[in-house]
Amino acid sequence: MRNRPTPVLLASSVLLSSVLLSSVLAGCSDSKSTATSSTTSTTTTVEPTTGTGSTGTGSTGSDGTSTFVIPQELLDRVANSGLTTVDVDYPPQPETVDWPTTNWVRADLPSGVDASTVNSIVDTAFTGGGDGDVIDAILVVQGGKLVLERYNGWDPQARHNSWSMAKSMTQAMVGILERDNKIDVFQPAQAAEWADPADPRHNITVDQLLRMSSGLEWEESYADADGDVLTVLGERGKADRAGYTARKPLEAEPDTKFEYSTGTADIIGREVGQIVGLGAPYEAWIQKELFDPLGIPGADHQFDETGNTNSGSWINLRPEDFARFGLLFLRDGVWDGTRILPEGWVDYSRLPTPTSPQREYGAQWWLHGNPAYPEVFWASGFNGQSITVMPKQDTVIVVLSTTSTDRDSKARDALMDAFAGLAR
């Protein structure tokens, strides 16, 4: 069974869903390319750290660094739900390897990884499909070096659809606001639609939104052209994506039901935009605070008429930039001596959501279902996009595709097995 957030479809309708999605998005060609910002970021400079912490201090330390709290109540709920947390030592960037802010250090596959096996995995992935079923790119970062980089007709400098990997990037934006004490995810979201204290939605928190546990009515079906997800992704949603979802009634009490929802991510994105400024200020803030420090020269965004970015489905990057984003989380939110995300945020990202039925979801990040890899977490997107973070192996795997089959996940899982022997 695939761990990807698979749309609610019968197998025979998967291809139809891709056709419908392409049709709905055909009128939404107003994606924008952000230029590299020259503004200096206001992040805090620290030494790279590793840690296992599942609790933070919720304050600024004496050294000026920010830490993020996971409340004991949430940890207790996870435990009482029969879910387990996994302590992780996030590997630091090797002192002998430059950070890829400007250029990647490229190297051969490390000893302990069979090159013939890896090449066979990639060859099979690149040749096993048909029309409309293509693995576009596969990249692997190990030990901070780019050790595998292969493209199947894809221009390495072209930005690739992120689809729902955008949710994980939006989550990182929330983390930056937590670092700067501009948001508290355990407080109610600032939604005008339920500002009335008598509204049953009034106390929905940002944490519940991040964990797909808001209780808002939603159906993540790509087979229905008039359904929720294609409405917010298409022309009809351009007026106000977040508002469409926020106006939904409750289908369950908040924090009692897991419901994967692209619209929920749009509400999260609006929370960020309301703090940093919607529209052009939002785009500039994303570039300055998240992408510039990583050396990512820009992104393709889709803004709606309210100035909110397409937070759940459309933050497109070059393949190597998706790898940079994965490396940020592998390094516990630290980049070249600068803490981009508060200490404890990556732990929060991969903390199992109590309402998720099989420990498969954290906070806008997916958790790997194979018990052999309990510490692995990954960003996932429609049609086979993934950024897989393997802390024990100091490895990030990026797979980008246009496939409605499971060939992408087979390639990803096979590569995980190929690199498994590098466990520290």
C-alpha span between 352 and 330 (Å, rounded) = 18
Helices (H), 101-164: 115-127
Q: What domains, with CATH codes, occur in the chain?
A: 11-422 (3.40.710.10)
Contact by Cβ (8 Å): 167, 364 = yes
What's the pLDDT score for residue 403?
82
pLDDT of residue 24: 54
- Helical spans, DSSP H, in 137-261: 165-179, 206-210, 228-233, 241-246
**Would you state the pLDDT for residue 80?**
93
State residue 262 phi and psi, 5-degree precision.
-65, -35
Distance CA 313, CA 161 (A): 8
User: Residue 25 in contact with residue 383, Cβ under 8 Å?
Assistant: no
The tens digit of pLDDT for each residue in 71-122 reads 999 999 999 998 888 899 999 999 999 999 999 999 999 999 999 999 999 9
- CA of residue 30 relative to chain centroid, distance: 22
Q: What pLDDT is attached to residue 5?
A: 36
Low-confidence ranges of the chain (pLDDT < 70): 1-65
Residue 134 and residue 125 in contact, taking contact as beta carbons nearer than 8 Å:
no
Find, among 409, 417, 408, 364, the residue nearest to 390 by Cα: 417
Give bridge partners of residue 390 from the DSSP assignment: 395
Amino acid (one-letter) located at 373: Y
Identify the pLDDT of residue 37.
36
End-to-end CA distance of the chain: 28
**If we measure between CA atoms, which residue out of 350, 375, 264 comes closest to residue 70?**
350
Q: What is the pTM of this model?
A: 0.88
The amino acid sitting at 167 is K
Q: Which helix (H) or strand (E) holds 252?
A: none
Estimate the crossing angle of helix 165-179 against helix 262-276, to 10 degrees.
Answer: 30
H/E stretch holding 79 reads: helix 72-80
